[in-house]
């Protein structure tokens, strides 16, 4: 006789069963996964063909898969025919992020990855943001360090990725006494830059951290290339090796190498504007401040986009969106841009709401705020006013005694009335 039961497991959701009978597992099937193979998921579930199990044990296996982290939900159903049971898991995959190894110079990334793949059947170079799989990965890396004679604990942290948009999961060795002895750049421009050399003390002599080196490369080195038209410069993954004799390397000092592929130098070829109604192409080009044929200074270009948004903001376009798409012509070493502008409505000044200060201080704020109700809202004035509240209080309050740690602020827009209220809360 064939019996069929469908169950669902998810955090906080109890399973219901139509049968408590046990049977011998004849097969385990998996559907819904694009990232992992069926064999990987079956192994992670702990079920084995030939075991005699019932719905409670299958439910426990589904719970284990959810608790690992790679799956946001796991449903299962099983069919029994006589003593045999066929189990099918239906999984929904959870989002994952790239994995980064911050300070493990005793191993290559390939060695670390291989060790994790051997210890964690579901490891594919990425990891979920939470779940038991992270603890297993941490333990595996700690054992790897111990096997090399390194006394250090391992911790993992979810953080912003310094090399691309999004998050990453960083593993870090805690207690390893490693310092950077020197930083070498593969390209002559960075290696010979006085500006870069003057900032190297931010790294040299400090504890070794690949993350810190990547942030340095992004903030201090990359702009050097963008300014000179190397718009497609690529900063490779930093590597570290122990200094001293290869036979007897120093155990606490590493030399860091940063590979750089500068790419070609591009010239600016102009902009194709779309969606603009408030300004014509000539005015937008004037705001951008770039000339056709000049070196495509990436830093200047980025500042131009911000300046463009400011000019819209001055005129009440608080919802404006500027989407830019570079078009590279490698043969001509030229870059043009397709820019789509979504302007949105024009907002006018609504109410100015002030809380947390005395009446005298409130009057001072209202005197300094120069946008009367009904006037086209000026976002630049709003930003500058907030800056004065924090950095130049005397410009607003004069000699009036005033004490606050911060000025909380909100800009509350109403698309229906096309008004913007300013709320200031002094704490």
Q: How many residues does the chain have?
A: 427
Is residue 6 scored above 90 in pLDDT? no
Is residue 177 scored above 90 in pLDDT? no
Which stretches does DSSP call E strand in 161-287?
A: 167-174, 179-185, 234-235, 239-244, 249-258, 260-261, 267-274
56-70, 228-242, 246-260, 401-415: range with lowest mean pLDDT:
246-260
pLDDT of residue 382: 96
Domain ranges across the chain = 2-93, 96-174, 179-261, 267-342, 348-426
How far is Cα 405 from Cα 390, in angstroms, rounded to an integer? 9
Between 3.30.70.270, 3.10.20.310, 3.30.470.20, 2.60.200.20, what CATH number should domain 348-426 receive? 3.10.20.310
* CATH, domain range 267-342: 3.10.20.310
Q: Exposure string (b/e) for 212-230, b if CB count within 10 Å is 16 or more?
A: bbbbbbeebbbbbbbebbb
* CATH, domain range 2-93: 3.10.20.310
How far is Cα 226 from Cα 228, in angstroms, rounded to an integer? 5
Is residue 195 scored above 80 in pLDDT? yes
pLDDT tens-digit series, residues 236-288:
999 999 986 655 555 789 999 999 999 999 999 999 999 999 999 999 999 99
pLDDT tens-digit series, residues 316-336:
999 999 999 999 999 999 999
pLDDT tens-digit series, residues 340-374:
999 999 999 999 999 999 999 999 999 999 999 99
Domains 96-174 and 179-261 share a fold: yes
Which stretches does DSSP call E strand in 134-265?
A: 153-160, 167-174, 179-185, 234-235, 239-244, 249-258, 260-261
Does residue 176 sit in helix, strand or coil? coil
Does residue 192 sit in helix, strand or coil? coil
pLDDT of residue 342: 97
Is residue 217 scored above 70 in pLDDT? yes
Single pTM value for the model = 0.82
Asked whether the CA dihedral 10, 12, 13, 17 is positive or negative, the reply is positive
- Tell the CATH superfamily of the 96-174 domain: membrane protein fhac (3.10.20.310)
Q: Per-residue confidence at 85, pLDDT binned at 50, 70, 90?
A: confident
pLDDT of residue 405: 85
pLDDT of residue 20: 55
Is residue 5 scored above 60 in pLDDT? no
Domain 179-261 classification at class level: alpha beta
Q: What is the mean pLDDT of the chain?
A: 91
Q: Which two tokens stand for residue 387?
A: 């800056």
Best CA proximity match to 68, nearest among 88, 93, 89, 47: 93
Cβ–Cβ < 8 Å for 367, 388: no
User: What residues have CB less than 8 Å from 283, skipping those under 6 apart?
Assistant: none
Cβ–Cβ < 8 Å for 45, 89: yes
User: What residues have CB less than 8 Å from 144, skipping those under 6 apart?
Assistant: 107, 112, 115
Average pLDDT (377-398) is 93
The residue behind tokens 């079956």 is 42
How far is Cα 379 from Cα 389, in angstroms, rounded to an integer? 16
Does residue 413 sit in helix, strand or coil? strand
Does residue 199 sit in helix, strand or coil? helix
């Amino acid at each position: 006789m064939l019996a069929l039961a469908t169950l669902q497991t998810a955090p906080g959701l109890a399973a219901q069963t139509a049968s408590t009978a046990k049977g011998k597992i004849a097969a385990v099937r998996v559907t819904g996964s694009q990232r992992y193979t069926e064999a990987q998921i079956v192994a992670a579930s702990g079920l084995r063909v030939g075991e005699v199990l019932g719905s409670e044990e299958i439910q426990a296996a589904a719970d284990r898969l959810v608790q690992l982290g790679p799956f946001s939900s796991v449903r299962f159903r099983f069919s029994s025919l006589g003593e045999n049971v066929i189990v099918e898991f239906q999984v929904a995959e959870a989002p994952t992020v790239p994995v980064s190894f911050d300070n493990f110079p005793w191993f290559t990334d390939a060695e670390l990855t291989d060790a994790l793949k051997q210890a964690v059947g579901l490891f594919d170079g990425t990891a979920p943001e939470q779940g038991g799989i992270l603890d297993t990965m941490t333990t595996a890396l700690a054992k790897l360090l111990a096997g090399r004679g390194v006394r250090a604990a391992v911790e993992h942290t979810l953080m912003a990725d310094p090399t691309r948009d999004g998050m990453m999961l960083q593993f870090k060795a805690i207690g390893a006494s490693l310092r950077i002895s020197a930083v070498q750049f593969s390209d002559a421009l960075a290696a010979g830059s006085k500006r870069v050399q003057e900032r190297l003390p931010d790294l040299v002599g400090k504890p070794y951290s690949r993350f810190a080196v990547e942030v340095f490369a992004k903030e201090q080195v990359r702009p050097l290339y963008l300014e000179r038209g190397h718009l497609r410069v690529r900063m490779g993954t930093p590597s570290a090796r122990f200094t001293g004799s290869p036979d007897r390397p120093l155990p606490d000092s590493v030399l860091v190498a940063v590979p750089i592929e500068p790419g070609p130098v591009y010239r600016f070829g102009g902009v194709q504007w779309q969606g603009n109604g408030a300004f014509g192409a000539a005015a937008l080009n004037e705001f951008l401040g770039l000339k056709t044929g000049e070196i495509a200074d990436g830093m200047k270009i980025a500042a131009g986009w911000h300046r463009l948004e400011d000019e819209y903001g001055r005129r009440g376009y608080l919802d404006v969106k500027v989407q830019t798409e570079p078009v590279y012509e490698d043969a001509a070493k030229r870059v043009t841009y397709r820019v789509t502008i979504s302007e949105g409505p024009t907002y006018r000044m609504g109410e100015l709401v002030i809380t947390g200060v005395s009446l005298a201080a409130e009057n001072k704020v209202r005197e300094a705020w120069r946008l009367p109700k009904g006037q086209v809202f000026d976002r630049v004035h709003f930003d500058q006013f907030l800056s004065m509240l924090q950095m130049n209080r005397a410009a607003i309050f004069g000699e009036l005694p005033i004490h606050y740690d911060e000025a909380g602020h909100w800009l509350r827009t109403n698309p229906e009335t096309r008004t913007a209220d300013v709320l200031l809360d002094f704490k």
